[in-house]
Structure 1
Amino acid sequence: MTTINTNYHPINQTTWPRREYFYYFTKMMPTGFTVNATIDITATLDWAHRHEVKFNAAYLFLVSQVLTRHPEFRVGMVDDQLVEFDVVHPSYSVLHEDDHSISSLWTAYSPNFSQFYQDYLQDIKRFGSQHTPMPKAPQSANLYMIGSIPWLDFTSYTPLPFTPLNTYFPVIQAGQYTTKGGKTTMPLSFTIHHAVADGYHVSQFYQDLRDAMAQPEAWLTTD
C-alpha cells in the first residue's frame, strides 16, 4: 500500500497573493460556488475497457492528478494554520447493492496509476462491504470529496452544507455518462470555496481534465 503523503507548507498570509480575497470571501462575504460542465470521456473509457481497468479508478486518479497541478485546490487548515498540501487524496463513496446505502472510502494518491489502482482494489476488497458511513478511518487532513451518481445524467449538482462553509478543498461529483454518435460524455460538478479560487482556476481544471481524458496513454500506466 502507498504511504499517505501528508506533507504541506504553511501559507504566509502577509505575502500570499490571495490574502485580500481570502479575507473578503471568508469574513465579509463568505461564498462558495459550483460549476457544472460536460467532459468527453470516450478515450479513457475505451482505454479502461481494453485494459480491463475499472473506469471509476481512472476517474479518481485523473482528477487527483490534475488537482496536484493547481495549488488553489490544495489549500487546507492544520491547527488553525492555513497550509498548502503537496497532494490531496480522493475520498469517495461506494454503494451497497443489498440496501442501496453508501460508505465513504479513501485511497492514498500515488502519481503512478498502477500503484494507485492496486491500492484502490485493496481498499474496495477490505472495506467495501462494511455497512457503516466511514469503514476506513481518515488518516490525514488532505482528503477531498469526490463521487459519482452513475444513474443520473444531471445538468446541475450543488452540495448544500448545513453549517458555515469552512473547508477549502473542492467537492467533485460526476453523473451518468451518455454515448451518442460514438462519443461518450459525462456531467461533472465542481464546488469550491471562493476564498481560494475563482472561475478562471476552475476553468483551468476542466481544461486539464479534458486533456487528460483525451490522452489516457500519457496519463495512465498499467506496468
Structure 2
Amino acid sequence: MFADIAVNGGIVKEARFHVVDRDSWGRTVYFDYYFNVIKCRYNIGADLDITNLQRFRRERGLKFFPVMLYAVMRAVNAHEEFRMAFNERRELGFWDWLCPCYTLFHPETETFTDIWSEYFEEFPRFYATVVDDMARYRHVTGKIKARDGQPPNICPVSNVPWLTFTHFAQDSYAESEFFSPLVKFGKYETRGENVILPVSVSVNHAVADGYHTCRLINEMQDAASFPEKYFNGA
C-alpha cells in the first residue's frame, strides 16, 4: 500500500516495491548469468543534441541542471528494468519510481555534498522541488550526505560541467547489488549551429542490456529535441 509522508511542508506518496516472480519473469536466465557468472556493469556514452532544449529553457528562464535532471529521470522512470532492486528480505523486484540523487559542488573547498529530491511526473512541481532543495542544502558542507532520510529508491545523477568528455567509465572494488543506472553528463558546447551535451550511463548488466540503455538515451534525446512535448506547464 501507499503511505503518505510529509516532506518540506507538503504531502507526497511513498513508492511501493513490487516483488517479481522469478519463475515467470522473462529475464531470470539473463539476470542469473550476469549476476552470478559474468558479474559486470557496462557504460554507454552518447552526445545529446540539446539545441531545442536550450532555446526552450532560456525563453522561459529555467535553470539548466533541474531541466536536464527531469529529462533523465522521466526516461529512467518510464522503464521497469531501471527501477530494479533487492528489498530488505533480499527479494528481487522493482519500485514504482526512483527519486533523483545528485551532487552539489562547493568551489571554495573543491568538495561536494550529495542530496536527493522527490520525483514528480509533473515538470513544474519537479522543477520547483529541485530548485528549492538545491538552495536549501547548498551551504551544507563537511559531510557527503547533506540531506537526511534518503529513500532506497534512488537514481544517482551528476554533472561534471568542466569538461566536454568523450567517454566516462566508473567502477568499484567490490561487487554491487545496486541496480539503478548511474548517469553523468558533462559540459555542453556549441558545434556549428547545434548545442551538444555528452552523457554517460553506467548499467548493471543483470537488469538491462544494450538495447534497453540505448532506448533510455534515445528517450533523453527525444525530450531534448521536443521540449514542448515533455516539459508541460513550463
TM-score (normalizing by structure 1): 0.96
Structure 1 residues 185 and 5: CA distance shift in structure 2, 3 A: farther
Partner residue, 1:118? 128
Partner residue, 2:97? 87
Deviations, residues 88-135 of structure 1 (Å, cap 9, x unaligned): 111011111211210111111100111011111221121111002111
Q: Does 1:171 align with 2:177?
A: no
| CA–CA separation in structure 2 for the residues paired with 1:43 and 1:106 | 27
Q: How many residues align?
A: 223
RMSD over equivalenced CA pairs, Å: 1.3
Amino acid at match of 1:40: D
Deviations, residues 56-83 of structure 1 (Å, cap 9, x unaligned): 0011111111112111101011111111
| CA–CA separation in structure 2 for the residues paired with 1:182 and 1:157 | 25
Amino acid at match of 1:142: N
- Please say if residues 5 and 87 of structure 1, whose CA atoms lie closer than 8 Å, have aligned partners that are also in contact: no
1:166 to partner: Cα distance: 1.7
- Please say if residues 102 and 114 of structure 2, whose CA atoms lie closer than 8 Å, have aligned partners that are also in contact: yes
Partner residue, 2:108? 98
Q: Percent identity?
A: 25
Partner residue, 2:84? 75
- Work out which of the residue numbers 94, 102, 118 in structure 2 matches 1:108: 118
1:162 to partner: Cα distance: 2.1
- Please say if residues 17 and 87 of structure 2, whose CA atoms lie closer than 8 Å, have aligned partners that are also in contact: no
1:4 to partner: Cα distance: 5.1
Amino acid at match of 2:232: T
- Please say if residues 165 and 187 of structure 2, whose CA atoms lie closer than 8 Å, have aligned partners that are also in contact: yes
1:165 to partner: Cα distance: 2.4
Unaligned runs of 5+ in 2: 1-9
| CA–CA separation in structure 1 for the residues paired with 2:101 and 2:230 | 21
- Work out which of the residue numbers 206, 211, 218 in structure 2 matches 1:200: 211
| CA–CA separation in structure 2 for the residues paired with 1:31 and 1:95 | 30
- Please say if residues 30 and 165 of structure 1, whose CA atoms lie closer than 8 Å, have aligned partners that are also in contact: no
Partner residue, 2:69? 60
- Please say if residues 183 and 199 of structure 2, whose CA atoms lie closer than 8 Å, have aligned partners that are also in contact: yes
| CA–CA separation in structure 1 for the residues paired with 2:149 and 2:102 | 12
| CA–CA separation in structure 2 for the residues paired with 1:21 and 1:2 | 39
Amino acid at match of 2:125: Q
SS at 1:3 equivalent: strand
Amino acid at match of 1:185: I
1:38 to partner: Cα distance: 0.6
Unaligned runs of 5+ in 1: none
Deviations, residues 128-184 of structure 1 (Å, cap 9, x unaligned): 110021110243111111111011111111112121122111000001111022200
Partner residue, 2:159? 148
| CA–CA separation in structure 1 for the residues paired with 2:171 and 2:37 | 20
| CA–CA separation in structure 2 for the residues paired with 1:93 and 1:2 | 24
Segments of 4+ moved more than 2 angstroms: none
